[in-house]
Amino acid sequence: MYSSERLKGIDVFVCVADMGSFTAAAARMNLTSSAVSKGIARLEGRLQTRLFNRTTRRLSLTDAGTEFYRTCTGVLADLKEVESSLHLENTEPRGKVRIDLPASYGRLHVLPVILKCIEEYPLLIPHITFSDRFVDLVEADIDIVVRIGGSDVWPNVLGHHYLGKARNIFCASPTYLSKYGEPLNELDLEHHSCIVYGEGQGMVSPWYFSETKTGYTERRVMPARIAIGDGEGELVAAIAGHGIAQLPTWLVKHEIEKGTIVEVLPNLATDGLILNLVWLKSRQALPKVSVLLGALAAGLTLPSTN
């Protein structure tokens, strides 16, 4: 283990070698000649090697001193480079940022925002993972996550920005509706092919229905024509004409704009899960983190009417 005294001794040694005398090195380092001389003596004693040839007229490195000088200057250069890099990282957006995103939402909506951001800040190096599971930012050492759902109460170590809440709508392809007709009410849905989310082990997620009379949301398990454990997979099946699906607006927005699927029973649409941008407070002041947080908040925040 290297103590601060050892590093100080190296600094003094290199300065003496560069200046060619104890007096000149002392002036540069704002030390006394005696302090410099004692520092070199301690270093030579610890190494049990003479580093300088001393005469009344000149001071020169021994062979061992020359080799040691090469090593020390390399170490000091590396330290200077690291310090410079750390300084730059704290003054401009650069360096690695670890980000975890929900799989479908992340690919469709978050990733384009990040890619646009690094076009403006090319020294940013995002390391992006996709998962739909809960991620502990502290334990996993992640700077930023986007979460769908979860609690409104956050630990003090985390900062968060509410992005909004999407809607869950019923949708199907024009081909399917032209063949089987459009449902007129929720009872009609039981006579249609339903594309539902499969949770594994034969379980399926219920559909949600907005109850206009009571203001509550009703959960109901529907008979499944197809059960798929992935939202994008459900969308693909709906576009292919295999039935009606209930999907979040953020997933189907572009397909509705293109006309490949259409919304049905809009009066039964319900509020979806909340979307949050979450980050480690201890890192939010770093330019590389703050610039991404700003871009994500601006690019992902949903209109209040959505």
What are the structural domains of the chain?
4-89 (1.10.10.10), 97-306 (3.40.190.290)
pLDDT at 2: 47
* Range of lowest pLDDT (94-103, 126-135, 180-189, 206-215): 206-215
DSSP 8-state code for residue 93: S
Share of the chain above pLDDT 90, in %: 47
Phi, psi of 248 (to 5 degrees): -70, 150
Give the residue-averaged pLDDT of 279-290: 90
Distance CA 65, CA 217 (A): 81
Q: Is 225 helix (H, G, I), strand (E, B) or coil?
A: coil
Nearest to 283 by CA among 163, 161, 158, 162: 158
80 has pLDDT over 80: no
The predicted pLDDT at position 278 comes to: 94
CA 210 – CA 292 distance, rounded (Å)? 36
Cα distances from 71 to residues 13, 78, 129, 289, in angstroms, run 12, 11, 40, 36
pLDDT class of 5 with cuts at 50, 70, 90: low
d(CA 222, CA 207): 7
Residue 23 backbone class (left: φ over 0; alpha: ψ -120 to 50; beta: rest): alpha
The whole-number average pLDDT for the span 109-138 is: 92
Q: Over the stretch 25-72, which tens digit does the pLDDT of each residue have?
A: 889 888 898 988 888 898 888 888 999 988 777 888 999 989 998 888
Q: What is the mean pLDDT of residues 2-10?
A: 62
pLDDT on residue 143:
95
Taking the CA atoms of 254, 259, 265 and 267 in sequence, report the sign of the dihedral they define.
positive
Give residue 85's pLDDT. 64
What DSSP line would sit under 96-134, residue for residue?
Answer: EEEEEE-HHHIIIIIHHHHHHHHHH-TTEEEEEEE-SS-
pLDDT > 70: percent of the chain:
91
* DSSP notation for 174-197: HHHHHHH----SGGGGGGS-EEEE
What pLDDT, on the 0 to 100 scale, is given for residue 297? 95
Reported as a single tens digit per residue, the pLDDT across 160-209 is 899 998 899 999 999 999 999 999 998 899 899 999 998 777 788 999 88
At residue 4, does pLDDT exceed 80?
no
pLDDT for residue 125 is more than 90 = yes
**pLDDT score of 243:** 96
Among the residue ranges 5-9, 267-271, 295-299, the one predicted with the least confidence is: 5-9
Nearest to 164 by CA among 294, 290, 266, 273: 273
